[in-house]
Each structure stands twice: as structure tokens, then as C-alpha cells.
Chain A
Amino acid sequence: MKNNYKRTLWVFMMGCVSHGTVLGQQIAFRNPDQKNQSSSQTAQNPDFVVNGKVTDNTGVGLPGVSVLVKGTSSGTATNADGAFTLSVPDQNSVLIFSFIGFATQEVQVKGQSNLAVTLMPDAKALEEVVVVGYGTQKKTDVTGSVTSISQDRIKDLPVSSIDQALKGQIPGMQVTQNTGSPGGGVTVRIRGNNSITAGNDPLYVIDGFPVSGGGRGQDGVPGAGNPLNTINPSDIESIDVLKDASATAIYGSRGANGVIIITTKSGKAGKGKLTFDAYTSIQQASKKLDILSAEEFAELHIESRNNGWLRNGGSPTTPNANRGRFTVSPIYFDPSQWRITDWQDEVLRTGIIQNYNLGATGGNDNVRYALSANYFENEGIILESSLKRYSFRANIDAKVNEKLSVGLRVTPSYIVNPGVNSDGHFSSGGVLGMALRMPPIISPYLPDGTYENPLALRTATTLGSIGAIDNPVAKLKEDKYDLDQGRILSNIFAEYKILDNLKFRTSFGVNGNFNRVHTFLSSKTGRAGSPPPSVPSGFASSSQELEWLNENLLTYDLDINENNQVTVIAGFSVQKNDYRFIRINGNNYPNDNVQYVAAAGVIESGTELRNQSSLLSYYGRVNYALFDRYLITATLRRDGSSRFGEQNKYGTFPSAAIAWRMSEENFIKEIPFISNLKWRLSYGISGNNSIPNYAYVPNIVTNSYVIGTGQTVVNGINAGRLANPYITWETMRSINLGVDIGILQNRLEFAVDAYKSNTDGLLLDVNIPGVSGFGTSLENIGEVENKGLEVAVNSRNLINAFKWNTTFNISFNRNKVISLGGSAGDFIDVGGSSRTAVGRPMGLFYTRVTDGIFNTIEEIKAHVPQDNNPQPGDRRFKDVNNDGKVDNNDLDFTGDPNPDFLVGFTNNFSFKGLDLNVIMNGSYGNDIYYQHPAALNLNGNVNNDFQARNRWRSPENPGSGNIPRAVYGFTTLSDVASDFYIRDASFLRLTNVTLGYNIPTAFVNKIRMQNARVYVSGQNLWILSDYIGFDPETGSGGGNPLSQGIDNGIYPMARTFTLGVNLSL
């Protein structure tokens, strides 16, 4: 009987081989008659019970396989051993067994009460599909450099935005968290920095909608406003990163920095599924900095005053009280007056994350749906910082008739993100900088519970002339930087089958982004070094960005014959962005009670801005496969942009790629262990249009003069810049050579890519003759080169009951500035410590060069004159330019913030119901300028970090030989930017460890669920690094490629422990 059945199937399949199903021992097919049979026999013998076991082709039981009685909605799932028990309507019922990655199978019960079912791997499902621009491709057919990440690689990670989860996962992509602040910005760079001024953020395409990646509208709220915050990570089905020009050129003038395509989950036909995911995490700062204790600080302070007094020419016998500004206040000699405080503990706390996600998916052949609701909350590890996100999603796909299908994607989300001014120098309000520098001998609160006021203690009698540092706890609790963000991203589309192989798809999408910022500077905090009470001030601002998009796409599959397959797409799209901004500044609030501008005594000023941009594009792509082994892809896009000058309104961006599936050649097929070998070569041109709107227009700005006997101020106007009708996109030309290798049935896979990209027409301010009335003009000039090598390895080490997968990637990128446009000079200096020079990588550190410490007067005399008139114990610098003196011109390249290579290393283990996921990532060879986290100025005005313990005290006690002495009141240059502060920031981080357990199906089924999984995870558990700041990664801060790697005291990264559960019913 069984054999007959098999034979029938064989015969049947021979007849429909064109459907391409791979045959195995047992296969599935649809018998049109069966449906009628089973339904007609329903309701007889309702109590027939079937037991069974489902195994894979190696005989291992498959847990979680869906078992459904055909034509009904009743069913079950297999338990951890693959066994199931199900009541069926009658003995002739047909059971449908489905499991992801396996071919769905139908089995007629035929009176058997014990079924043994073997599911075969589904060749089609195994054949990975890659999302490319405007379509999908089989992975084997891809000719460009594309890396795909499926949702199982990024799930379980307690992150507010998905980019944080991609760290170390994609070769060639550097993900740097700029700050640990909830919702804080993340810098994503694909294959290095390609632009100096026009931005290096990749293009994000969310369900076909290209949205601008650059966070806009945060308006003075520090470290907030990452646009990807508004997307719920658990909605994401897959992420595809397009890296080379063959893949990105279809996005034309927006493709140069790479493209990240995010596809959200859509419903699947089948039994409806309700999922509930929740996790909660606790967070702690992964590190506290080692700074001086109260005793050590007092010692430093006293030493600095004594040395200063002597340096000032004072006599060592003068009593302390008579030393003027060098007099040490009594408190430093009397520990009983100290209120010893660990200021880091005062501003840091235990953070908490909560995340709840409710989802429903399902549908039938005609309508499929995926809905979700999400609540995410993160109380940050710095006081008062938090993020709350409410987001929803509805993805609906429907078939209207055989020809027409329609769909909808709607994602509203709302974020409440009270920020804190945590980062940067204390003088600009960075509370971490304040906490690290605050004298540890006072506490945040006075005994009566009010705030201590360090700014008021800066008098000779209490604390002496210490630094003008405000109370960071008061700053955190009283000053407000609130950001609210709402976004709705929606896209509706219709697809019409004109012919079987010709589809027309049109879509209309809207991206609405609304930000509100509210700030308030309280009366209880100081201003610009003056102690409170201050005059309260604040502002309210609001921005609104509305962007609409219409895409129209024809897809034509022309399979000429088995050996010649052609797919052509041709599209047309229009996109328009409209941005509005309004801000009102208030001042003189009577008190802190009402903190809105309405209460302001003076409405100081306000502004309203509006600008628009539009993009009109034609694009097309041809994929040609010859003998299924020679693959050719050619793309072309033509973009017209409102941002470009009238002489350069349109840009054309072509690309071409060829691939050779060598493993399909007979001479390779003979080599048994090679299962896949594909060579890829591509060349293409893409652009970067992130230039300012209207930059080509000679704008008019206002000025004012005074006229009349009454000396009245009158308005005037003048041109703000010269017209530049040639302003256009930056152009990247890139070549990529890659090879994909699969060994032993693809148990071991390699993907190796080498690339070289040259971006020219960099938008730079060029010096022009002053006779024009202007000093500079923005022009497309300058060139940057990036070249690199990426290797990705995927290994399925163990594939049986105990599974172990390893992925490893390493990427090398070398960046070099080829030209800065001649007349702009050969270098650009930023921030006093970074220089971008022709012939070198961007943003190198350019500082003084230390040469130890002067130990004696004789050593000073033997050295060339140094501009701070040094004394023994002061820093010695090298006369770099050999002009016989040391001054601000003696600067040299002392470090490189660009990593030599990046690595990512992931291991997945699973056994029965247990799964373990370990992610590591690292960076090697990059430097950080350890600028501000904890000062080492040694003037005794502020607390210093642990290095101060090794300071020079006398020729006999020179400390570690590279730390100067403490001295107050003179320019000792101990904290001037120098190679001393350039530190190796290489690191290897244990980014994530997750241990999950699938609760046995038998138990789960009892409580009427399909699946239940619990997991624990830890993030940032361990780091291997010599870096002395909070974190070698957060320190790499900011998106500006010209001033990378400057650690000026940034919100520390958290160590996070998470407990989570995934339920489905």
C-alpha cells in the first residue's frame, strides 16, 4: 500500500517536474480531490485518536512541528521529542505537517493510530533569499556584495534600536554606540568614511521606503534622536546590507554610503498564531573610573598650591595664610570637615529595561496579516535618563483576484525620551565630566537636604579656587531636556499581474516624523560658572517632517529557455520631503514651578524654518543567467534632485556585475567536497546627495544699520553666498571582487570580498578671491579612497541533535584622503587635536609630542626653549619642526582613530530544548584621544584620575616618569593635547550571551500554548581592552569623520542582565 502510494507520487511528480520540487523519500503534493473527500467525511467518528512521531531525514525527532487536520482549524504541535497526539474527525482525515525549513507534508490517516512521519528539508526554503533593492533574489544568483541577517540572529537583544544589535554581525560594517544614553545615537559606517561634509550614514530602506538616516530635529537635546528608535526590533524579519556599487547603485544618488534594507514580518497562510514576548533587564555601568580619593585629592591640592607659590617666586617660609591665591583653605588639612563622596555613584544608578511585545500573525491564501503592539521602557544608568516607546504595526497582504494583490504596512510609534546632558566637557554642562572632577570632599546635598552649591564654594575660605563645576546631581534632577518623537511610516501597494511573467507594482508611502523638544534650566543650577539661584530659562521647539513617496515598478521574468533566464525591472519614483521647525526661547521664568514658555517672563526670540527637497528617479535592472552559472547584473538609475544646482540637476548611476558559479562546471563538480564556488566582480557608480538643501541658491540674509537723528535700527539685506549652479552629489566609483565558497554540503561557507571605492566631488568650502565679497564657496572638490577586505565564515560544526553554528567575520578598511581640492589647503583641522590631511586617513590625531618630564634645571637648560617657561617636574615636548623652540607649531601625527580591522564572532549551540548564543565583537588598532573623562591637569582645581598618583614630586621621586608635577596658577601644559593622551582603543567584547530553554511541548500544550521559551542573557559582560576610559567604543564618539575617536566623557555603556520569555499560542 505504502509503496503504491510512493509510486503514484513519483509518477505524478515526473509530470510536473517544472514545478521544481526536489524529491525525497516522501514528498508532498496537493491532490485536488482529497479536499472534498475529507470535508465530506467530517463529523463521523469524532473520537479517532492518532499518535505519531515526526522526525527529520536523519531520524531525529522534530519538536514544534505544526500538525493540522486538513480543512479544519484543529491541530497541535509536536513535543520536544517530535511526538504528537491528536484527535481527528475520522480515520480518513488528512494531516498537514509543516515546519519551517522543511517541505510541508500531507499524510492520510487511513485508520492508522500510530504514524511515523519523516519531513524532508525543503530545498526551496533552504535556498536563502536575499532582499536587494526593488526585489528579492536567490542568494545563489546574487552578483553583488550583500550580507543578510535574519531575525533569529538579532532577537533576544535588549536594545532600543536595531542598529545596536548589528554590532559585529556584518563584515565591513562598523557599528559604534556613541553614548550609552537610552535612545542615544549610533554611528553606522559601511566600508569606511566616504565623505567629509555630506554625511556618511547609510541609506535605510524600511519595507521599501527609503528614509533619511540622519537624526534631525533633536534640537539641543544631547545624545538623543536616533531615527531607528522608532522601529520595534521584534517586528523585523530580516536585515540586508548592500555594500558594493552593484548592489547600491540602484539607489543612485543615495547609495554611496551603503544601503540597509529592513524588512518587517508579514503574515503567513496557516493557523493563526498569537505571540507574547517579554523581557526585563537590569543595567549597571560596566566600569567606574579610578579617580583620586578624598585624601589623595587633598594632597594634590595642597601640593599644587605649594608648588605654585614657589613657582610664583614666593618663599617657602611664608605662612600658608599669607600666600594670597596660593593659600590652602583649612578644609584640606581637616578631614573631619569632609563629606566624602563618590560622585560617580551619585550620578549613576541601576538601569531597568522592560519590553512587552504582543503579536498576531496568520491568514489564508487570500489574506495574511501580521500585527504587533510593543512597549519598551529603559530607565538609564544615569539619573533621570529614560526612554519609553509605544509602537504598533499592521502588515496586511491580500489577494483581490488572481491578477491583483494589495498590501498595507502601517507603523505608528511614539517615544518619550527625557534626555540628560551627560556627555562632553563640564563647561558645556556634561554631568559625567562634572562628577569625575568634583572634589570628593563635598557631597551633593547639604545636611538640610538642599543641594550643595560647589560654584559658591569657590572662595578662598571654603574650597579655594577650584574649578567652576556645578553640582551634577542638581543639573540632572532640575534641568530638563525632554524629547518626544512620533513617527508614522505607512506604505500601501498594489501589484497587478499583467502577464504571468510581467508584474506591475505601485506603492504610495508616507513617512511622518514629529519631534517636540522642551528644555528648562532651573533656578537651582548655575550658569556659566555663576552659582545659583539663576534666572530660569528654557525653550520649546517642534519639528515636523513629512515625506511622501510613490514608486512604480515593472518586473518582467523572461525565461527564454532553461539556459537563458532574464529578469528585467524598470521603475519610476518620486519622493518629496517637507521639513518644518519652530522654536521659542523663554527667559526670566519667575520660579521653577511652571516650566513651560507660557510662564516665561520674557519671550526672548523665536524662529520658524521650512525647507523641502524632492527626488525624481528612473531606474532599471537586468539580471541574466546563462546556463545557470554565468550571471550578469546591470543596473542604471537616473536621479533628479532639488538639491542640485541647475547645471547638474540629474545624475546617472550605472553599475554592472558578473558572477561565475564555478561549482556548476563539470570540472568542479568532480571535486566532491566543494559544494559551492562563485566568483563575483562588480563595478559601479553611486552618489551621496546628503548636501544641504538650496546650497546652490544665492540666498539673501538680513543685516542692520542705524539711521536718523533718533538713531533707529533699520534692516538691510545682503547676499549670503555666491550662486553655485554646479553643486551636485558626491560621486563614488567602486569595484568589488568577491568569492563565495561552500565546502561539504555548505557545512563550511566562506565569503571573501575585496573592494576599492573612490569618492570624488567631495563637497568642501573652497577659498575664493575676496573680491567676490566672500571668502569661501561650497564646491564639489576633493577625493577620498577606501579599500578593504572582508572575510565572513559560517560553519555548521555540529548538525545533529547537538547543533553548533559558528560565524566569524573580519574586515579591514584603509581610508585615505586623495585630495582636498587644492585651494582649500592640504589639510583640515578640527577641534584642536584632529587633522585630516591629503595622503593620510581622515581625522588623524595631530598633537604635541611629549618627551618625558624635566627632572632638573640642567635638563631644561639643555632643551630648546619651551613656550611655558618650564621648571623641573613639568612636561618636556619635542621640537617637532626643529625651529629651536617648542610652541604651538610643534605638532605631529600621533594617532589614528580608524581601526586596522574589525571582528565579529558568533556561536550558536542548541541541544533539545536548550539554545545558547554567544556574540563577540572587537576592533583592533584604533586610537582614542582620552580628552576629558577625567582630567589630568594636575593644578589641584579639580579631581584627577588615577594616573595623578604617579606624578612627579621631586627629582628623587619622579613617579612614573611621564606624569608632571602638581602646580597651580601656571601654564604647565600638562593637559595640552599630546601623544600622552592618545591611547590604544583596541578591544574584544563579549557582546551578548543568551541561554534559552524551550519548555517541553507536552507541558506547553497542556496550558494550550504552541510554544514557550524562557531565556536569560547578558550583554557587555566582559571586555578585553587596555583603555582607561569608560569604554573604548563609546569613546569613539560622534559622526564627524574629521574628529573621530575623541573621548570627552561620554555616557558609559551598560552591563545588562536580561530575563525573557517568548510565548506563542
Chain B
Amino acid sequence: MKNIYKVSLSIFFITLFSGCEDKFIELNPLDQASVGNSFTTPDDANLAVMGVYDALQSGSYPQDMAFLTELVTDNTMVQPTRIADAGRGDLRELEFFQFTDNNSYLQSRWSRLYLGISRANLILSKIDQITFPVQTLKDQYIGEAKFLRALFYFDLVRFFGAVPLSLTEIKSADEAFVLKRTPEAEVYQAIINDLNDAATNLPITYASSNIGRATKGAAKALLAKVYLTNKQPDLALPILRELTKAPYTYRLMPTYAAAFDADNTAEAIFEIQYTSSIAGEGNPYPNFFLTNDGTAGKDIYGSTFLGNTGQGINLPTQDMFDAYEPNDARRTYSIVKYFSKQEAADVYVIYKYRGVPTSANNSEDNIPVLRYADVLLMLAEAINETNHNPIPEAYDAIDLVRVRAGLLPLPRTLTYESFKTKLLEERRVELAFENHRWFDLKRFNKAEEVLSAKGYAIKPFHLLYPIPRKEVIINPENISQNTGY
């Protein structure tokens, strides 16, 4: 009996240690924050909003955008002697309309856009748990996140058509697997809702320390573009007219050069911000767009150019060079011709982003997303589309842009169709290398016509890029492939 007592006592003793067991094995990371404890102050919200902007700026975002909107069209091409290089198969596919669902740039574009969306969703899902002393600041953060989310979805829906729509934080892989492709109309509606909210919440301007953040004007300009793309020019028109008047202060810079030589000018509506002062925060375009040519950078920009070996993956075509009317001041600013030793011939190089990098891939220039010249051209487009006729207001808008470039106003004799054609050409040269060409061709329903005529093997199904193969393979029940692929 005594033994049994001792045995039980021992067992009791040994289990006594286990009092606080669950706490003992619950350890939180010490040198890293976690989603659970990172959203408590307004400053945290600001950090998370900056994280959404970062999705625009870092990784492969800028160059992928150029490949899918410029390289694929008649604007640019891969450096001829470098197109067969190892690892350039995906660029080759884009240049010759042979792209498949396995194209890495499509996967990376899809991933980067949803990366931005997930960051926006995260702060939008967490912001209500943060106490803000000033409501306007909270509104602003919500507005910025929604503006950026709309921008990402707008790119997605234009590239891929119906895409999965998620407007809340995705917390686990399971939640991601159940999302189906959402019809385009619903995606557009979500974009419009976000932009309306953003336009309501965002300020018209910022103090100088916050210049570069999304503004009310940016949300409206993007909304107008969404309406135009969504064949609702009548809805775009009042918004665009609004942007030309007070309280907005947008204006064309006196010269085309002045619009790019400085960042965040009066013409800028929304730009991806870069600085060369810190490696990794600079614009990679000059290195990507330069020929792969040894000392080409020094030849063009002078001996200070760093990262001499360009990638040679986005050179203007002859057709692009020829698209400018004679005496167009924009050509000499945007394109430079020089003799390439590698090509043993003259080649064209994009000269618009000419900020000399302080280290390889780190140039100063911002990349414009929305610019007042774009608004003026959209205004002309909205008028022409709404009235089915270019009334004088439309000519006035487009001529502002033309005259600044040193060209004559358009003869006021154009029909709806011919004005539309002229408008597309004007957009091509005014907005060259700003990642608009593919979207413009599609919006004007001219992609097949224009590109086929120039020998591109475009087929109707190419208007939507294929959904990246991985997304279909891992989730065949919910993600179907676009037709033609």
C-alpha cells in the first residue's frame, strides 16, 4: 500500500512539471516582426502603404512592363545579334508573337501584380484595427492602397482578361486555391469602385516631403482611362474635363524635354519614384535599354555612365523612328542613333530615360504612369468617342500636345475614324516607351490591323496573353486557359 502511494506520488510529481506546457512551446520570432503584431500605429499603416508602392518599383516590375507593352508591339525590338543568345527565348517569343503560357515574363508579371494587390489587401484588411488621431490620414492611406490596387488589377485585366479577384487579405494557400477567374466586368467594377473611393479619400496635393504619393487627380485620371478602356467614354469625359481645371493645376511643361528632365513636374500625375542615391532604388531602364555593346554607355552618355554593358533588349524599331513627323522635337529627345560595334551598324537606343546611373541599373529618372499629356489625349479621345465626331474641343486638346512638340495643329477636317487613327499615332510618339502602346492598340481596336500590316504574326487570340502555365496547372478547376493557347 505504501508502495502504491509512493508510485502515485512520483507520477504526480513528474506530471507537475507540465503546468505551463503550451506557453513553453509558443515562441514568437524575436528578430522579425510578424503579420500578427505589425499593425498597431498610424506609422505602421504608412510603412505598409509604402510597401504597396514598392511593389511597383522593385523586382522585375519596370522591365517586364516594357516587354509586354512595348517589345511585343512595333515600338521596340531585341538587339538583333543578341536575340539568339541563351536565355532570350522568352523575349524572342514576345517579339514574334510566338508566346506560350510558359513565358517567364508573363508569370513574373502576373506574380508581381498580385504581389502588389496582396500588399494592398493586407493594409486594407488591417487598417481598421489601428486608431488614427486624424481621420484624413487614414482616408489617405486607404485611398493610396485602393488606387494602387486598382492600377494593378487594371494591368491584369488588360493583359489577361478575366482574372481572380481578391479584395481581402489571403491568409493561407487554401484561400488562394478556391479563387476562380472573375468575369472582366466584375473586375472592372471593382477597379472603378476602388478608384472612386480613392478619388474621394485622396488629397489633391501633398506637402513637399510627400510628393510622389497618389493624388486625387491620379485616381481620376486612371478612372477616366478605365472608363475609356471599358467603352464608357461618356463617363470618362467629365472626369477628364475636370482635370483640366482648378483646383487641379496640371499643365504641359513648356518643352517635351522639360517634362522628363525633372521628376514630379507640373505635368506629372503619377510617377514611379526612383533615386540613384541608394543602390536598388534606381531606375534600371538605361541599362536594360542600352545595346549590349561593351562601351556603348560611354559613347552615348559620356564617360560617367556606369554599368556599361547594356542588355540590348528594348531598342526602338526603324518603324518607331519613322513614326515621328518631320521636325518632331520628341524624336530627338526620345531616341538616339549611334554606331554599334556589336551590330556593325547604326542602331537606335531609347534616350528618354537618360539619367546616368550611379551604379549599374540605378538611374535617377522616374517612370511616368500618368501624365497630363496623356490626359489631354484621352480627353480628345473621349470627346471623339462620345460624339462620334472630333468637335473643336477634341482638336484643342490634341493640338496642345502637338504644338508643344513643334508641330502644326491638325487640320480640322478629320472624320471620327481618321481622328481616331491620328490620335493613336499621336499617342504612340508622345507616350513612346512609357508602356502604353499595347494597351492603346487594344483600346483603339487596332492591334491586329496595325501590327499585321507591319508583318507581325498577330492572331485575334493574342489580344489576351495566356494565363501563366503554373497558375493553370496547379489549379485546373478554377483557372482555365485563355482560348488559343
- A709 near B211: Cβ-Cβ < 8 Å: yes
* Chain B interface bracket (under 10, 10 to 19, 20 to 34, 35 or more): 35 or more
CB-defined interface of A255-299 with B at 8 Å, one 1/0 digit per residue? 000000000000000000000000000000000000000000000
- Chain A residue with the shortest CB-CB distance to B29: A694
- A611 near B273: Cβ-Cβ < 8 Å: no
- Chain B residue with the shortest CB-CB distance to A552: B14
CB-contacts of A378-410 with B (<8 A): none
- B21 near A616: Cβ-Cβ < 8 Å: yes
**CB of B129 closer than 8 Å to a CB of A:** no
**CB of A339 closer than 8 Å to a CB of B:** no
- B474 near A708: Cβ-Cβ < 8 Å: no
CA distance A552 to B474 in the complex (A): 48
- B25 near A710: Cβ-Cβ < 8 Å: no
- A697 near B274: Cβ-Cβ < 8 Å: no
CB-contacts of A677-733 with B (<8 A): 693-694, 697-701, 703-720, 722-725
**CB of A20 closer than 8 Å to a CB of B:** no
What's the nearest-Cβ distance from chain A to residue B263, in Å?
7
- A699 near B33: Cβ-Cβ < 8 Å: yes
- B170 near A716: Cβ-Cβ < 8 Å: no
**CB of A16 closer than 8 Å to a CB of B:** no
Contacts of A950 in B (CB 8 A): none
Of A572, A614, A697, A709, which is within 8 A of B25 by CB?
A614
Q: Max chain B CB contacts within 10 Å: which of A571, A641, A700, A710?
A: A700
A709-B264 in contact given A767-B470, A823-B474 (Cβ < 8 Å):
yes
**CB of A574 closer than 8 Å to a CB of B:** yes
- A772 near B281: Cβ-Cβ < 8 Å: no
- Chain B residue with the shortest CB-CB distance to A726: B172
- A698 near B35: Cβ-Cβ < 8 Å: yes
**CB of A43 closer than 8 Å to a CB of B:** no
Contacts of A703 in B (CB 8 A): 50-51, 54, 58
**CB of B135 closer than 8 Å to a CB of A:** no
- B10 near A705: Cβ-Cβ < 8 Å: no
- A640 near B21: Cβ-Cβ < 8 Å: yes
**CB of A608 closer than 8 Å to a CB of B:** yes
Of A556, A701, A709, A710, which is within 8 A of B7 by CB?
A556
A715-B47 in contact given A614-B25, A641-B25 (Cβ < 8 Å):
yes
What's the nearest-Cβ distance from chain B to residue A213, in Å?
21
Contacts of A499 in B (CB 8 A): 3, 6-7
Contacts of B273 in A (CB 8 A): 705-707, 711
**CB of B145 closer than 8 Å to a CB of A:** no
CA distance A616 to B24 in the complex (A): 8
* Chain A interface bracket (under 10, 10 to 19, 20 to 34, 35 or more): 35 or more
**CB of B26 closer than 8 Å to a CB of A:** yes
**CB of A584 closer than 8 Å to a CB of B:** no
What's the nearest-Cβ distance from chain B to residue A366, in Å?
25
What's the nearest-Cβ distance from chain A to residue B183, in Å?
16
CB-contacts of B218-269 with A (<8 A): 263-264
- Chain A residue with the shortest CB-CB distance to B470: A767
Q: Max chain A CB contacts within 10 Å: which of B48, B54, B211, B468?
A: B54
A710-B35 in contact given A554-B10, A614-B24, A716-B48 (Cβ < 8 Å):
no
What's the nearest-Cβ distance from chain B to residue A617, in Å?
10
- A767 near B25: Cβ-Cβ < 8 Å: no
What's the nearest-Cβ distance from chain B to residue A796, in Å?
44
Of B24, B122, B468, which is within 8 A of A718 by CB?
B122
Contacts of B117 in A (CB 8 A): 771, 773
- A570 near B11: Cβ-Cβ < 8 Å: yes
- B10 near A700: Cβ-Cβ < 8 Å: no
CB-contacts of A755-805 with B (<8 A): 766-775, 777, 779
**CB of A610 closer than 8 Å to a CB of B:** yes
- B51 near A718: Cβ-Cβ < 8 Å: yes
A771-B35 in contact given A614-B27, A710-B209 (Cβ < 8 Å):
no
- B122 near A552: Cβ-Cβ < 8 Å: no
**CB of B410 closer than 8 Å to a CB of A:** no
CA distance A712 to B274 in the complex (A): 9
Contacts of B1 in A (CB 8 A): none
CB-defined interface of A341-372 with B at 8 Å, one 1/0 digit per residue? 00000000000000000000000000000000
- B176 near A772: Cβ-Cβ < 8 Å: yes
- A719 near B122: Cβ-Cβ < 8 Å: yes
What's the nearest-Cβ distance from chain B to residue A716, in Å?
3
Contacts of B173 in A (CB 8 A): 722, 724, 766, 768-769, 772, 777, 779
Of A550, A707, A723, A773, which is within 8 A of B211 by CB?
A707
Of B7, B25, B114, B280, which is within 8 A of A642 by CB?
B25
Contacts of B28 in A (CB 8 A): 694, 697
Contacts of A718 in B (CB 8 A): 48, 51, 54-55, 119, 122
- A771 near B170: Cβ-Cβ < 8 Å: yes
- B57 near A706: Cβ-Cβ < 8 Å: yes
CA distance A614 to B29 in the complex (A): 12
What's the nearest-Cβ distance from chain B to residue A547, in Å?
14
Contacts of B50 in A (CB 8 A): 703-705, 707, 714-717
- Chain A residue with the shortest CB-CB distance to B468: A770
- A723 near B27: Cβ-Cβ < 8 Å: no
- Chain B residue with the shortest CB-CB distance to A718: B51
CB-contacts of A594-608 with B (<8 A): 608
What's the nearest-Cβ distance from chain A to residue B119, in Å?
5
**CB of B83 closer than 8 Å to a CB of A:** no
Of B10, B31, B48, B275, which is within 8 A of A717 by CB?
B48
Of B54, B211, B277, B280, which is within 8 A of A716 by CB?
B54
**CB of B179 closer than 8 Å to a CB of A:** yes
- Chain A residue with the shortest CB-CB distance to B37: A700
- A717 near B172: Cβ-Cβ < 8 Å: no
- B36 near A713: Cβ-Cβ < 8 Å: no
- A711 near B27: Cβ-Cβ < 8 Å: no
Q: Max chain B CB contacts within 10 Å: which of A611, A614, A616?
A: A616
**CB of B175 closer than 8 Å to a CB of A:** yes
Of B7, B14, B111, B179, which is within 8 A of A775 by CB?
B111
**CB of B352 closer than 8 Å to a CB of A:** no
CB-defined interface of B164-193 with A at 8 Å, one 1/0 digit per residue? 101000111101110100000000000000
CA distance A772 to B172 in the complex (A): 8
CA distance A773 to B119 in the complex (A): 8
- B170 near A772: Cβ-Cβ < 8 Å: yes
CB-contacts of B40-58 with A (<8 A): 44, 47-55, 57-58
What's the nearest-Cβ distance from chain A to residue B406, in Å?
29
**CB of B32 closer than 8 Å to a CB of A:** yes
**CB of A806 closer than 8 Å to a CB of B:** no
A770-B471 in contact given A556-B7, A707-B213 (Cβ < 8 Å):
yes
CA distance A703 to B21 in the complex (A): 37
- Chain A residue with the shortest CB-CB distance to B21: A616
CB-defined interface of A534-568 with B at 8 Å, one 1/0 digit per residue? 00000000000000001010101000000000000
- A700 near B210: Cβ-Cβ < 8 Å: no
Contacts of B154 in A (CB 8 A): none
Of A576, A707, A716, A771, which is within 8 A of B210 by CB?
A707
**CB of A618 closer than 8 Å to a CB of B:** yes
**CB of B118 closer than 8 Å to a CB of A:** yes
- B14 near A570: Cβ-Cβ < 8 Å: yes
- Chain B residue with the shortest CB-CB distance to A615: B25
A610-B30 in contact given A616-B21, A715-B47, A767-B470 (Cβ < 8 Å):
yes
Contacts of A576 in B (CB 8 A): 24
CA distance A554 to B364 in the complex (A): 71
Additional A-B contacts beyond A611-B30, A697-B28, A722-B171 (9; CB < 8 A): A611-B29, A640-B21, A641-B25, A705-B281, A718-B51, A773-B114, A774-B115, A775-B470, A823-B473
**The 9 residue pairs across chains A and B that have the minimum distance between CB atoms:** A773-B118, A716-B50, A716-B51, A772-B176, A700-B33, A706-B273, A718-B51, A711-B275, A642-B27
Residues in chain A within 8 A of chain B (CB atoms) = 498-499, 502, 504, 550, 552, 554, 556, 570-572, 574, 576, 608-616, 618, 640-642, 649, 693-694, 697-701, 703-720, 722-725, 766-775, 777, 779, 823
Q: What are 9 of the A-B contact pairs (CB < 8 Å)?
A: A618-B18, A694-B34, A705-B54, A707-B211, A708-B209, A719-B118, A770-B470, A770-B471, A771-B166
